[in-house]
Amino acid sequence: MADAVSESPATSFGPVKQIDAGVLSVGYVEAGPADGPAVVLLHGWPYDVHSFAEVTPILASAGFHVVVPYLRGYGSTRFLSDDTMRNGEQAALARDTAALMDALHLDKAIIAGFDWGARSADIMAVLWPERTKAIVSVSGYLIGSQQAGKLPLAPEAELQWWYQYYFATERGRVGYDKYRREFTNLIWRTASPKWKFDDATFDRTAASFENPDHVDIVIHNYRWRLGLADGQAEYDELEKTLTSAPRISVPSITLEGDANGAPHLDPSSYAEKFSGPYSHRTIDGGIGHNLPQEAPQEFANAVMEAESL
């Protein structure tokens, strides 16, 4: 298994291990047999590893080697150097996944996620297809670019992105830092309007937002999308490749909840972006944006099916 692994406080579904990977010390939960098919589960904003608290044991019991990391800016994940830019651009987040796989000696894995994690899954499939056995991506094809981010949307679509424009201001940065629990709770409620989560469920994830780099990463992520913040030169070539919105050739399953209150496209608009074995399914029952936590069996089923595509 991995070298130089330490443990941090436990989550509700397993101990949190730490390992140096790329520019980070990554906190992650691991379950299932070490020699099973590897799957990396990636959360988004504003969520954390607990989105996969029920998915993980399902996959582990089915023989999968499951790895669930905290993204940069969340939970126990930390930058190894104070001098490293707190960069939230898409290529940096995806590269973190490849670096974690290197550190854990995982040659190839299924990459499955939602929100930021789904975007990283898409990017892994484009930039490192030889490392990506298959992907499961909630809300489909999410690879973007600063050029695309400059294009205006219809007014109703722009309204859904209100928080992105709030984050573009210094008032928004200060407000998110001051009210991060209230802010993220609001996003949970609007993104999953039919999900009746309790305070304990929210609180166990909200603790991850106390990470010292959290606000910097979130603000930079959304400002970068609009071209209001620069990325790092080391990712420029990767971003140049992503700007063309390349098609994904690895086996892919996309998912959507029938009650997703977050901005998302109709599946028909991105189906042609998947050139390999592909299927889409919409999960019924009032399922919102945090699909793995709201419909864990259905998400796990998609991962298991992707393994055999």
Q: What is the pLDDT of residues 177-233, one digit of tens each?
A: 999 999 999 999 999 999 999 999 999 999 999 999 999 999 999 999 999 999 999
Residue 8 has pLDDT above 90, yes or no: no
Give the pLDDT of residue 1: 39
What the chain holds in terms of domains, given with CATH numbers, is 6-307 (3.40.50.1820)
Judged against a pLDDT cut of 60, whether residue 7 lies above it is answered with: no
pLDDT digits 0-9 by tens, 250-305: 999 999 999 999 999 999 999 999 999 999 999 999 999 999 999 999 999 999 99
Helix (H) or strand (E) holding 65: strand 65-69
Report whether 93 contacts 35 (CB < 8 A). Answer: no
> What percentage of the chain carries pLDDT values higher than 70?
96
Q: Are 231 and 89 in contact (CB under 8 A)?
A: yes
Nearest-CA neighbor of 305 among 258, 254, 264? 254
CA distance to 111, 143, 247, per residue, from 131 (Å)? 9, 18, 16
Q: What is the mean pLDDT of the segment spanning 46-50?
A: 98
CA dist., res. 198 & res. 188, Å (int): 11
